[in-house]
Structure 1
Amino acid sequence: MIDIILFGDRHRDNTQAPTGSVFLIEFNHLKDEDTLKLLSLSIHHLLREYPNHLVARFSHTSIAILLPNHTEQLASGLAPRICATLHNYFTQSPDDTAFNIGIVCFTYMETVSEILSQAEEALHQARHIHQRCWFILEKGLHYPESHGWHNWSKHLALCIREQQIEFELTPFYGVKRQLIFNNLCAFTDGICGNTLGDEQLCLLAEKSSLELPFLRLKLSAAHNLLHTIEGSLSITTHAKVIASPFKLNQLLITLYQYPTNIRQRLIFEIRESEVTRLLDKIKLGCFALHALGCKLCINRAGRQVEGMQYLSELSVDYLKLDQHMLINIEGESRQLKALESIRLMLQGTSTQLLAQHIKSQAHWEQLQLVGIEGAPFNLNSALD
């Protein structure tokens, strides 16, 4: 059951004031942070037609969505679409509420505290409503056989078994426009026809204990591609595979069957948050991968500079800096100081600093001055 409360604009008489909407979505009994990340990604994908939207954590069990220049009518129309998306992740029962939504429309004359107070009040009232939302009954958007993590896990397992995962390449280029490597990104159709990207699939595979078969499928695709293209391939990898002695052994057996010139062009890419959490358990695995000729890339790096002691304990070939690290690197900014600290840590190593995202040519030129050596393909499109 879904409960929704929509508060109208409290300044309707002021027709000149621009309006916006805030959605507060609370997930009952949600304890898995990866689930919240995956849900946030799905909502972010749903709102791709609203370029200025913001999806952010509000509390440990809720997320907030900000939609500027968004009227009450648009908000009430968007609510069923968000609910339909969320339905695909939860198993519903007739007498329980998996999530509640509080929506408030506001004018820019109101303060942030007033807006959030209204949204929290709407969410509080939504918790106490016990009736099914109209769109479930009238629009047929309730999928009793499709939603729930169990069914999503079965869907991913089927896609892996039947090799229904597709791949695309995202090139990373260096300062002199030479190809550094390609990111091998997986994608496939979801249960209800939506597209699941590489990050969503990785989270789903991890939650479903399908990390190893998913990685094997990626390696098989990489092996085939490396016979036809030049350069190296970077593959997003779960640290759990490298941290588990059994899974690591299976991975090494698979890699050992590949020719040396193929292994030397494989880059295993791991999230920094996983590296810091499982550092002691992945040291041996990272050493073994290097021994076979493979390389290591840490992505989303720099979120917590004080937690980057792994740079002194692991041999890292590439460091993809989180985009928030590269937004403001002028003067005495916190980001610039953090970047300087990272460069000091890397002195005497061969680690290359890469940008996860570049906004413009001017931004790229600025990043080169502070030691960034590579960026994704969209930069080169901008330069052309």
Structure 2
Amino acid sequence: MKITVFEQDSAFDTLKSEWNELLHRSASDLIFCTWEWQSTWWRTYQAGDLCIVTCRDENDRLVGIAPWFIHHLDSERVLRTIGCVDVTDYLDIIADKNHLEDVQRCFAHFLYEHHDRYDRINLCNIPEQSPTCVSFPQALRALGFKADLVLQEVCPVIHLPDNWEAYLESLDKKQRHEIRRKLRRAEAEAKLDHIVVSAEHDIDKMIDQFIQLMRASHPQKAKFLEDPKNLAFFKNLLPLMFERNWLRLSFLYVNDVLTAAYCDFDYNDHTQVYNSGLIPTENAHLSPGIVLLSYNIRDAIARKKTVFDFLRGNEVYKYRMGAQDTRVFMLRARLHGDLPEPKVDSVLAPVE
């Protein structure tokens, strides 16, 4: 196979026409691995030295993309996946399913032959069902690397049934009662308007409204948005997701007051809950966040989605809505020396 290394931002323009087509042929067809996400993240954060590695077969067809960069810390150079770690929930090597092992061996050989460019490897946010969790550490070990997988975090998901009533019946009796009670109370005591942004709306205005609610919902989110790069990432990414029909931006108005919002992604047959916003002081007794979330789950079922994915984090409300954990891992490797002990002993925080 032919290996090519791209070290300039122009790589994204060069690979644009082939990137997503390969992604659809891979076992890693994730919204976070799309050309749109990856290019936006890189152009926003510029987090190190770009190192995108591609593989082509004997017919010059693109069969593999390793979207990597080298992050320079004070005392070492760490090879990471574009998107690591905070604003991206799943990441992976992109490899044609029919060439998976060959591609991963090629990428492992590249890392071996160019080990002088970095000190260690940290590939974050790999979903547990990815072939990378098994085959890539094996390919690295075959070349003398020390490699392991560290449980990084959990992504609770709901496997959606065919109808809303079946979903409610799948819940614990207490939680089923709570959801029904909160919906009845809110709908009886207030005028509710559930809006999903569509082509008839001013998308830029609606994104600004969402960011305002996100900022108001929690001090940590407000602090996150104080970073100009984080704010720029949202403002650059969300219109692009909307253009591709991947963005599901929903709002709940309570008595004509904008109160709650969710930023979800629709990709393949999954709905993914990326972020949320809430005015905590507005109609809190009516549980507007849970009401809107319930509407969105019901809407996903009606649109024949099979998975409602809360993405990373083990917040209690996700389990109350019926979610069950899936896991994401970090692949750590180095050619010389021992791997450091993980810096955390919990799945609640990323491993550096």
Greater strand share, structure number: 2
| TM-score normalised according to structure 1 size | 0.25
The higher relative CO (CA closer than 8 Å, separation ≥ 6) is in 2
Question: Rg bigger for which structure?
Answer: 1
